[in-house]
Structure 1
């Protein structure tokens, strides 16, 4: 892969923003990667004093083959946490 391809911007589509705190949020996007695959990315954004949001390096990228299993695992974790809180 040449330098030009490495720096090429690939489109992304915002799916959801979820508040993490007053200063941070999770953003879920679908992003086209250089390998031709569209993947889900969950990235943490921080709000700065000027109120602009900036992406942090903290993120996870999930390919389509794993997305449903990840969602099922998160739902199971949510159910267990709800059970513990009861």
Structure 2
């Protein structure tokens, strides 16, 4: 008899819980929570985009610096070779 009572209580709580989870108030809470999560995602994506743009600018500047240094080193190598031939 005790097991039947526990089963009935579990069924009652399960049914009540299901009613609460599917109620209009609960759906409003879910909608507001989802909306807040979407706003947070948009904010994070905006920040990521800004950081990525900054990193792209830094990368382009670094690449230009290395290209300039390589060109200077090549010019010095050509000058040294010309001085040795004379």
TM over 0.5: no
Question: Which structure's relative contact order is higher, taking Cα pairs within 8 Å and 6+ residues apart?
Answer: 1
Normalised TM-score (structure 1): 0.31
TM-score by length of 2: 0.31
Structure having the higher helix fraction is 2
Larger Rg: 2
